[in-house]
Amino acid sequence: MKDNKRKEKNKDKTEDVTKATVTPPPNFIRDIIEKDRKEGKNEGRVHTRFPPEPNGYLHIGHAKSICLNFGLAEEYGGLCNLRFDDTNPSREDVEYVDSIMEDVRWLGFDWKDRLFYASDYFEQLYEYALQLIKKGKAYACDLSADEVREYRGTLTEPGKNSPYRERSIEENVDLFERMRKGEFPDGSRTLRAKIDMASPNLNMRDPVMYRILRASHHRTGDKWCIYATYDWAHGQSDSIEGITHSICTLEFEDHRPLYDWFIEQLGIFHSQQIEFARLNLSYTIMSKRKLLELVEEGHVGGWGDPRMPTISGLRRRGYTSESIRDFCERIGVAKRESTVDIVLLEHCLREDLNERAQRMMVVLRPLRLVIDNYPEDQEEELDAVNNPEDPSMGTRKIPFSRVLYIEKEDFREDPPKKWFRLAPGQEVRLKHAYYVTCTDVIKDERTGEVVELHCTYDPESRGGWTKDERRVRGTLHWVSSSHSFPVEVRLYDYLFTAENPGETEEGSDFKSSLNPNSLDILSACQAEPSLKEAEPGTRYQFLRQGYFCVDTADSVPDALVFNRTATLRDTWAKIEKALKMSEK
Ligand code: ATP
Ligand code: MG
């Protein structure tokens, strides 16, 4: 009875969480779109894009951008493109292209026939560049990369004009064409926009548009030896695709005047850039460069390691796409940088898994328990509900017999006060089964370690209840030793011990707070027989232990491996704080 009451109470709490977030979270981009539509801008069209650079796997920060771009398009009956911003061949790879497509699809979004690559526009961008040269708005510059930097000036000092700035249009056209033909060595020349070396905005100080680089591109091969910079490619790519709202993160705010300048000089369709604050999450990092470092140096088992904040890592860990989308909706969209507490993400996950995960019994650290008054050759099948949250998920049979396994930590020989689990002379309920009382403790003679418990059971308590409603405070999970089978379970903790691993003190790097205990492998767990057929990717709740998912990489039918997706603990106070932070 008590259990049910507590559950009711917890239910109230869960409902509170939902209520607190039912009011749509702030999203100023929605407001801009509505205003544009009201004013008939772009004939009311909404066309967005998600523009990843294929230089790493996507992370949860990208999920925010994906949900935002695809979500807004869906909301306003518009379109959303997937475009690879593949302008930097030295860091990019098809492996990344494939993983990005898989992740976007898995999140539940569809770009239909609108898959594009900035590299599709290389020829068009080259033509645009020629147009700027012919207008006297771009020039070939012979300064080295270091010199370009020197001439640029600083935030407080204006830059200096390049000595090559006043070349004739004819000379610039000729040099640019020969750059493309491969007549000059790597790094010997650039094409630069001719804007203003004294502009207070450093991005406007004659930025580089092309560099000479002999690198094979994953799509265009060796066709090009000059490559557009991101700044030159991005805005024009948006324009070519007719993107109405070009949504990006705040660090591009200072680039907007440059993008607008290019578009105006070329006289082409003007996409409106809107910046929002990127997602930061506590106890993790969101930079592809840093994540790559973890992979390359072997601190994790790859981009899809279940501890990684990547979409593939979260998926392998057992996260559902629904919970990630729910999280992205709840955190809202703002102009100000903030860090979202990771417990909010975990909370969204638990809410989802609580409803869909079948309950199972698995003993992580087994301790033998023998029921002396249970006949040796007897066994029986007990009924267990699969999910108390969802009766339609039905029931299953669990075998019971004289020798069981329980969790080592559920027994104490010298229990503290208020110990409701098993102890000498103490009675507990075995979930779905019987009441048992501990009568004897067997120890290893050498080590003193408890190796076996003896109990008696009350045959009148079948199903876990007695007629006299005798109270026991503890309910333990268990498995029958002759029916259970061994599985491996991997427990995870945060990858970093610091709340903000990205912001370490000067001189120390982000890896200094790597958590040495982020993975704990338990290889001698015992699972109830219904789990034998568990398919990779299936999620369960192991009673009292958390949510688990059959590993998709290392699990095989005769040697199942389970990842702990999340513990059952959900701290309300922390979540409230997280919600407040995300609303700021
Ligand atoms: P990183 O800093 O991890 O390397 P990035 O911005 O260089 O990320 P891109 O591939 O250029 O990675 O990102 C694709 C899109 O995702 C961009 O529009 C970018 O603004 C957005 N994005 C990247 N990180 C985040 C984040 N943490 N929160 C929200 N959006 C993000
Ligand atoms: Mg980027």
Tell the residue nearest (CA) to atom 13 of ligand 1. Answer: 52
Q: Is residue 578 very low, low, confident or very high in pLDDT (cuts 50, 70, 90)?
A: low
Q: Is residue 23 very low, low, confident or very high in pLDDT (cuts 50, 70, 90)?
A: low
Which ligand has the minimum distance to the alpha carbon of residue 249?
1
Averaging pLDDT over each range in 182-186, 470-474, 568-572, which range is the top one? 182-186
329-357: string of b/e by CB count within 10 Å (b at 16+)? Answer: bbbbbbeeeebbbbbbbbbbbbbbbbeeb
236, 352, 367 from 124: Cα distances, Å: 9, 47, 70
Distance CA 320, CA 527 (A): 23
Q: What percent of the chain has pLDDT over 70?
A: 93
Query: Is 316:563 a contact under the CB 8 Å cutoff?
Result: yes
User: Is the shortest distance between the CB of 287 and ligand 1 below 6 Å?
Assistant: yes
73, 103, 111, 222, 428 from 55: Cα distances, Å: 26, 14, 20, 19, 55
Instruction: Kindly report the backbone phi and psi dihedral angles of residue 408, in degrees, each rounded to the nearest multiple of 5, phi listed first.
Output: -50, -45
Distance CA 193, CA 514 (A): 43
User: Is the shortest distance between the CB of 233 and ligand 1 below 6 Å?
Assistant: no
Mean pLDDT of 88-95: 92
Rounded to the nearest whole angstrom, what is the distance from the C-alpha of residue 59 to the centroid of ligand 1? Answer: 9
**Mutational test site, ligand 1, from 50, 57, 62, 247, max ligand atoms within 8 Å of CB:** 62
**Running DSSP on this structure, what letter comes out for residue 576?**
H
Q: What CATH number belongs to 122-232?
A: 3.90.800.10
Which ligand has the minimum distance to the alpha carbon of residue 251?
1
Of the two residues 453 and 572, the one the predictor is more confident about is 453
21, 286, 288, 352, 423 from 327: Cα distances, Å: 11, 16, 21, 11, 42
Q: Which residues are catalytic?
A: 53, 278, 288
User: Is the shortest distance between the CB of 159 and ligand 1 below 6 Å?
Assistant: no
Distance CA 77, CA 67 (A): 15
165, two tokens: 């700035």
Extents of the domains making up the chain: 2-118+234-351, 122-232, 360-583
pLDDT surpassing 50 at residue 193: yes
Report pLDDT digits (tens) over 509-552: 899 999 999 999 999 999 999 999 999 999 999 999 999 999 99
Rounded to the nearest whole angstrom, what is the distance from the C-alpha of residue 254 to the centroid of ligand 1? Answer: 16
pLDDT score for 1: 39
Rounded to the nearest whole angstrom, what is the distance from the C-alpha of residue 81 to the centroid of ligand 1? Answer: 16
pLDDT score for 466: 87
169, 193, 203, 257, 322 from 135: Cα distances, Å: 8, 11, 20, 19, 51
Mean pLDDT of 184-193: 98
Mean pLDDT of 466-491: 95
Class of domain 2-118+234-351: alpha beta
Report pLDDT digits (tens) over 345-369: 999 999 999 999 999 999 999 999 9
Residues composing the chain? 584
Q: What percent of the chain has pLDDT over 90?
A: 89
Instruction: Kindly report the backbone phi and psi dihedral angles of residue 34, in degrees, each rounded to the nearest multiple of 5, phi listed first.
Output: -65, -40
Mean pLDDT of 417-441: 97
Distance CA 142, CA 188 (A): 6
Instruction: Assign residue 449 a region (left: φ > 0; alpha: ψ between -120 and 50; beta: otherwise).
Output: beta
pLDDT score for 583: 59
pLDDT score for 117: 98
Rounded to the nearest whole angstrom, what is the distance from the C-alpha of residue 248 to the centroid of ligand 1? Answer: 8
Rounded to the nearest whole angstrom, what is the distance from the C-alpha of residue 460 to the centroid of ligand 2? Answer: 66
Sequence-ordered list of residues with C-beta below 8 angstroms from that of 469, at least 6 positions apart, any chain = none
pLDDT score for 16: 40
- For residues 498, 502, 505 and 508, what is the CA-based torsion angle, rounded to 10 degrees? 90
Average pLDDT, the chain: 93
Distance CA 75, CA 242 (A): 18
- The string of DSSP codes covering 340-407 is E-HHHHHHHHHHHHHHHPEEE-EESSEEEEEETTS-TT-EEEEEEES-TT-GGG-EEEEEEESEEEEE
Distance CA 379, CA 529 (A): 14
Report pLDDT digits (tens) over 303-335: 999 999 999 999 999 999 999 999 999 999 999
pLDDT score for 376: 95
User: Is the shortest distance between the CB of 332 and ligand 1 below 6 Å?
Assistant: no
Which ligand has the minimum distance to the alpha carbon of residue 52?
1
Distance CA 476, CA 455 (A): 14
Which ligand 1 atom sits nearest the alpha carbon of residue 64? 29
User: Is the shortest distance between the CB of 278 and ligand 1 below 6 Å?
Assistant: yes
User: Is the shortest distance between the CB of 246 and ligand 1 below 6 Å?
Assistant: no
Give the SS3 label for residue 194: coil
Distance CA 446, CA 581 (A): 54
Q: What CATH number belongs to 360-583?
A: 2.40.240.10
User: Is the shortest distance between the CB of 97 and ligand 1 below 6 Å?
Assistant: no
pLDDT surpassing 50 at residue 21: no
